[in-house]
Amino acid sequence: MKPRKHGEFHHKHSLGQNFIEDESLLERLADLSLVSAEDCVLEIGPGFGALTKPLARRAKRVVSLEIDRTLIPILTVALERYPNAQIIEGDVMKTDLARLVRETLGEDCSLRVAANLPYYITTDVLTKLLRELPQAKSIAVMIQKEVGDKLLSAPGDEGYGPLAILCQYFCEVERALDVPAACFTPPPKVDSSFMVLVRRQQAPCVVTAEDVFLRLVRGAFVMRRKTLANNLLTAFQLSREEALVCLGRAGLGEKVRAEELTLAQMCALSNEIVGHIG
Ligand code: SAM
């Protein structure tokens, strides 16, 4: 049996605690995270600090947010020799990330995000990171391989939906590495992919009101079995007539479903809706 490196620590399945111990894999992940000496890193879920260390060796500063209180003393010892690494106890989903970054890393830091994410909150965390940290130059995350497929999906693909559209609107998305379940302790039931999202300097299509676009992306898929027109009625309180006019002006048919729309069509439709909701 392998000696227990961290005493009596018990992995909490409910917190997605599948840790990586392989040093060469961790180095590779830190490289793929695009972190260099002028960058500050926000890490979600440092666990035992295995990824935090190679990140701290590359970055100016690292701030790591960990929900599990029992890991804090372990992390404090593990990161003793890394004065540029700071641990914050907290739940990423309940944290104002913009404020956290401002208060710990400063307004002007060149920000990157890196994480071996807890898979139970992947979609919510990615959405939160994209929305709350527009200044993050990149978001490099280990996620379930199938969710990686979703991020890269196109109209008509299984899994194409709000997450793909958001990620592709804000970022260039790349699958940097596939990582088999056996690389984790304990191994999860699924394989993983390390995905690198590089924030775009310029959006791939013109959106006149980003809040409307984001509302559309969310609202369009709420009732997947219904047509997009039906979803628009609820999302924007439009009359059927208004919804059909918006679709028509965006070059879309009455029966179209959200999962058929390209990013460019979603942008065009959002711009038409802006004119109807005042
Ligand atoms: N970074 C470590 C590694 O690569 O070995 C651990 C990764 S493990 C997949 C996910 C980590 O996220 C765990 O340490 C877990 O406690 C933490 N975590 C889970 N839910 C969290 C949340 N809501 N907010 C912050 N951290 C969370």
Residue 51 has pLDDT above 70, yes or no: yes
Does 20 sit in the ligand 1 pocket, CB within 6 Å?
A: yes
Partners of 175 in the β-ladder: 195
Mean pLDDT computed over every residue of the chain: 95
Judge if the upstream peptide bond of residue 187 is cis by omega within 30 degrees of 0.
no
The pLDDT of residue 225 is: 85
Which atom of ligand 1 has the smallest separation from the CA of 47?
14
Does 192 sit in the ligand 1 pocket, CB within 6 Å?
A: no
Q: What's the CA gap between 149 and 162, in Å, rounded? A: 13
pTM given for the model: 0.95
Instruction: Give every CB contact of residue 4 below 8 A, 6+ residues apart in sequence.
Output: none
**Identity of the amino acid at 21:** E
Residue 2 has pLDDT above 60, yes or no: no
* pLDDT per residue as tens digits for the range 187-216: 999 999 999 999 999 999 999 999 999 999
- Residue 248 Cα to ligand 1 midpoint, Å, equals 46
